[in-house]
Amino acid sequence: MTEAELYDVYRGVYVPKHLHPPESLKYYEDFTFRPDDVLIVTYPKSGTTWLQEVVPLVLSGGDVASVRTVPNWDRVPWLEEHRAIVLNLEQRPSPRTFATHFHRDMMNESYSKVKPKVIYVMRNPKDVFTSSFHYYGMASYLVNPGTADEFLEKFLNGKIMFGSWFDHVKGWLNVKNEDHIFYISYEEMIQDLKGSVSRIGQFLGKSLSPEVVEKIADNCVFKNMKQNPMSNFSLVPAEFMDQKKSEFLRKGVAGDWKNLFTEAQTERFEAVYKDKMKDVTFKFAW
């Protein structure tokens, strides 16, 4: 199926119709944040699911009840997805935790006024591309990626769900004096999960003992999360996500792009990256 059949254009980016019908987008436009809400913000395939596991564990001081009993999409709902409307988010006790793939300039008025806590997760875009390439091949609500060359052009031109990786990252980095936003990368979490858990804890005002940090990190390592039916998307029907084609928790490593990219694709990617990121001073961990 084509982009025209599967996607709507919302605020200039493609959003898959199946997950984000107009009433869901309207719900998000009208949504009222609280100052102690915790919002996990990512470009897709950057580590959203990972943070949907880490953050509830940090907030609960390591209590695994919610990550063992509640699917990640209800535990930390996406505000732009259709389920947000039916989850009675207004009734949830503070601190509430949400996820979103929205760009900075798509956030609503309440966000700008209230400034809830944001954890912005970034990942090497070549790995985001690689993870997306496999994911688009198994998820029926997305347009089939075609060849890696074809998908590369779409990725570099932002013609995929939630638009351009470059615009997303630049938009979220380009904010002034916003200490309610905490930046972390997938690569930092791969390198030092315990240190990352502690830093997230500090940002959220939770002082965690070394034992609790250890317990959280152990719960959130790839091989353990992959076994958790509440987090590995095994509850999703195969006609929606066919995990026989590619698992959702696929490899969980940094640098898998090297197994996919040809030399020509690497050159093309890096040339576009250099141009689009030329004014960015942030030091990335990749």
Q: Which is nearer to ligand A3P, 24 or 52 (CB)?
A: 52
Q: Answer yes or no: are the C-beta atoms of 230 and 75 closer than 8 Å.
A: yes
Stretch that binds ligand A3P, among 46-54, 80-88, 236-244, 273-281 (CB under 6 A): 46-54
- How many residues in the shown chain lie near ligand A3P by CB under 6 A? 19
Side chain identity, residue 14: Y
- The answer to the question of residue 46 lying near ligand A3P (CB under 6 A) is yes
Cα torsion through 66, 70, 76, 77, rounded to 10:
-160
Give dist(CA 162, CA 164) in Å, integer. 7
Q: Which is nearer to ligand A3P, 24 or 232 (CB)?
A: 232
User: Any idea which residues carry the catalytic annotation?
Assistant: 101
Q: Which is nearer to ligand A3P, 24 or 48 (CB)?
A: 48
Residues 143-182: x where in contact with ligand A3P by CB under 6 A, - otherwise, as a string: ----------------------------------------
Dump strand ranges (E) for 31-130.
38-42, 97-100, 117-122
The tokens for 62 are: 């390591």
Q: Which is nearer to ligand A3P, 37 or 187 (CB)?
A: 187
> Minimum distance between the CB of residue 278 and ligand A3P, rounded to whole angstroms?
26
Stretch that binds ligand A3P, among 90-98, 155-163, 169-177, 218-226 (CB under 6 A): 218-226
- The answer to the question of residue 48 lying near ligand A3P (CB under 6 A) is yes
- The answer to the question of residue 131 lying near ligand A3P (CB under 6 A) is yes
- The answer to the question of residue 10 lying near ligand A3P (CB under 6 A) is no
> Minimum distance between the CB of residue 84 and ligand A3P, rounded to whole angstroms?
17
Give dist(CA 14, CA 216) in Å, integer. 35
Give dist(CA 196, CA 8) in Å, integer. 36
Smallest CA-to-CA distance from 132 within 199, 59, 28, 48 is with 48
- The answer to the question of residue 249 lying near ligand A3P (CB under 6 A) is yes
Side chain identity, residue 196: S
- The answer to the question of residue 45 lying near ligand A3P (CB under 6 A) is yes
Cis bond before residue 95 (omega within 30° of 0): yes
Give dist(CA 197, CA 216) in Å, integer. 8
Q: Exactly one of 222, 273, 284, 286 binds ligand A3P (CB under 6 A); which one? A: 222
Smallest CA-to-CA distance from 265 within 154, 152, 163 is with 152
Q: Exactly one of 17, 29, 44, 159 binds ligand A3P (CB under 6 A); which one? A: 44
- The answer to the question of residue 47 lying near ligand A3P (CB under 6 A) is yes
Smallest CA-to-CA distance from 141 within 5, 278, 286 is with 5
Smallest CA-to-CA distance from 261 within 155, 123, 122 is with 155
**Strand pairing of 13-16 and 7-10?**
antiparallel
- The answer to the question of residue 220 lying near ligand A3P (CB under 6 A) is yes
> Minimum distance between the CB of residue 280 and ligand A3P, rounded to whole angstroms?
21
Binding site for ligand A3P (CB under 6 A): 42, 44-50, 127, 131, 134, 220, 222, 225, 249-252, 256
